[in-house]
């Protein structure tokens, strides 16, 4: 959203989205994290502690350079390539931390409570999202701080925010290192044997050879295609239409209690033998919201008054739409995480969970990249007020139009094309996907076991 306010192109947005890909390729180094460690420090803390310290130091260093990278205070555009590389490195560390946490969750919880792992995951991510998105954008907004908090200026800057959380990361990591001890192997209900590095990669190969896993991977890689335009473009389109980014962030406040408490309620339905039932029931509703969001973006300019301000009832509409949408998102997320916790072979817990989460993340990232990358190519613009320039689809044509005193206007927005096509694709996908999901969750636990399989 910060880049969108600096008028970067959607192709640049697609480039920046690559910075989140470490969560989609962490499977490549997950066996290393799962098998190489210091016995005295602990299997998970050997990676968790260094990764979190590096994240803290990384943010401290980034805090003094981020304004330069964003072109703040100068006429230069943000250096999207370098920004992407920097945040790719930061997310690489976060993904490494995630691998350790995924594996630790399987043994830190007792067997009867392992179904709550998805709830911990969802609630924790919601808290982080709230602090890093809602709180930051609100306190960083001068308009919000002046009008609602009685301040003379914004209370937080991006460099200051990064500096503060860099310190918090270092302090909390020290507390985890000193105060939280991992159980000895003999104390863990389900042992996690040490296969060694080569052995862990061999186990990974055995997991990928399982037909049940291959079917599940195909589901995970394709199930989110229908949501790509809604998830990756809607907020950017609202920002493009002049909706202030701090207002959009504040709209998440009413959604936060839902995101925190709804997983607790959904867990009642995911703790049984069919945890994916909420996923199946929510899927078509979430698909339809692709059309709802498209309609909302189309109607957004109609709510703007002559001063460019959006009335309160417009934000109420957005809250209601996102509230219902968030219910479907949580149902799908908690259902999938509960299913992963149920089927994962605890003998290779970290690798197994990381594999499943990797393909889940990849299944969301690659369709979003496609949607961002090609939305401009599907958008048709024309030049008005000039006779000898008709099109504005290319940058050279846009410059020529503006040089002649004309204006470029959008005739067909690629966002609406993508929204319609992807929703149709999603409903076609359901004819194969839903029966496959039902078949997979009805399989016995032995169908997912790795430790009993041989090369």
Q: At what angle do helices 45-63 and 80-108 cross, to 10 degrees?
A: 150
Yes or no: say if 97 and 51 are a contact pair by the CB < 8 Å rule. Answer: yes
**Cβ atoms within 10 Å of 143's Cβ, excluding its own:** 11
**Which of the two residues, 288 and 36, has the higher pLDDT score?**
288
- Give the model's pLDDT for residue 410: 85
Q: Report whether pLDDT(2) > 70.
A: yes
- Give the model's pLDDT for residue 147: 80
C-alpha distances in Å from residue 326, one per residue of 136, 269, 392: 21, 17, 37
Q: Report whether pLDDT(120) > 70.
A: yes
- Give the model's pLDDT for residue 142: 84
Yes or no: say if 349 and 107 are a contact pair by the CB < 8 Å rule. Answer: yes
- Residue 206's pLDDT band (cuts 50, 70, 90): confident
Q: What is the pLDDT of residues 76-119, one digit of tens each?
A: 888 899 999 999 999 999 999 988 887 787 677 776 776 677 67
State the Cα–Cα distance between residues 249 and 45, nearest whole angstrom: 34
Q: At what angle do helices 349-374 and 414-441 cross, to 10 degrees?
A: 160
**Which of the two residues, 388 and 76, has the higher pLDDT score?**
76
Domain architecture of the chain: domains with CATH: 4-376+413-448 (1.20.1250.20), 377-412 (no CATH)
State the Cα–Cα distance between residues 326 and 231, nearest whole angstrom: 11
Lowest mean pLDDT among 163-167, 336-340, 405-409, 425-429: 405-409
Q: Given the DSSP bridges, would you call strands 407-412 and 380-384 parallel, antiparallel or unpaired?
A: antiparallel
Quickly list DSSP for 336-368.
Answer: HHHHHHHHS-GGGHHHHHHHHHHHHHHHHHHHH
């Amino acid at each position: 959203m910060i880049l969108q306010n600096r008028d970067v192109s959607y192709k640049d947005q697609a480039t920046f989205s690559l910075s989140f890909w470490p969560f989609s390729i962490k499977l490549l180094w997950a066996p290393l994290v799962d098998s190489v460690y210091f016995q005295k420090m602990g299997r998970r803390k050997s990676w968790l502690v260094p990764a979190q310290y590096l994240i803290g130091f990384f943010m401290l260093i980034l805090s003094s350079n981020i304004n330069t990278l964003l072109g703040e205070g100068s006429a230069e555009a943000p250096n999207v390539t370098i920004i992407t590389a920097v945040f790719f490195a930061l997310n690489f560390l976060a993904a490494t931390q995630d691998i350790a946490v995924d594996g630790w969750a399987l043994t830190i919880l007792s067997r009867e409570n392992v179904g709550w792992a998805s709830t911990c995951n969802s609630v924790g991510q919601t808290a982080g999202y709230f602090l890093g998105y809602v709180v930051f954008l609100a306190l960083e907004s001068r308009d919000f701080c002046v009008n609602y908090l009685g301040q003379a200026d914004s209370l937080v800057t991006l460099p200051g925010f990064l500096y503060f959380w860099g310190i918090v990361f270092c302090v909390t990591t020290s507390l985890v290192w000193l105060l939280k001890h991992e159980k000895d192997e003999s104390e863990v209900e389900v042992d996690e044997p040490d296969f060694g590095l080569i052995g862990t990669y061999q186990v990974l190969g055995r997991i990928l050879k399982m037909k049940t896993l291959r079917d599940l991977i195909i589901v995970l890689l394709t199930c989110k295609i229908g949501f790509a335009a809604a998830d990756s473009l809607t907020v950017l389109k609202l920002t493009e239409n002049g909706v202030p980014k701090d207002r959009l962030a504040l709209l998440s406040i009413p959604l936060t209690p839902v995101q925190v408490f709804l997983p607790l309620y959904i867990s009642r339905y995911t703790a049984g033998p069919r945890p994916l039932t909420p996923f199946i029931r929510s899927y078509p509703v979430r698909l339809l919201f692709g059309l709802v969001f498209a309609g909302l973006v189309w109607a957004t300019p109609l709510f703007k008054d002559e001063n460019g301000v959006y009335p309160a009832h417009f934000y109420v509409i957005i809250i209601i739409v996102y509230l219902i949408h968030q219910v479907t998102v949580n149902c799908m997320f908690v259902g999938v995480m509960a299913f992963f916790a149920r089927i994962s072979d605890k003998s290779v817990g970290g690798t197994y969970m990381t594999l499943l989460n990797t393909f889940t993340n990849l299944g969301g990232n690659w369709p979003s990249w496609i949607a961002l990358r090609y939305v401009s190519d599907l958008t048709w613009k024309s030049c008005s007020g000039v006779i000898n320039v008709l099109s504005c689809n290319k940058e050279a044509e846009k410059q020529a139009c503006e040089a002649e005193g004309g204006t470029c206007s959008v005739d067909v927005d690629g966002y609406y094309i993508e929204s319609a096509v992807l929703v149709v694709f999603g409903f076609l996908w359901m004819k194969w996907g839903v029966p496959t999901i039902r078949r997979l969750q009805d399989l016995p636990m032995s169908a997912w076991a790795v430790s009993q399989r041989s090369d």
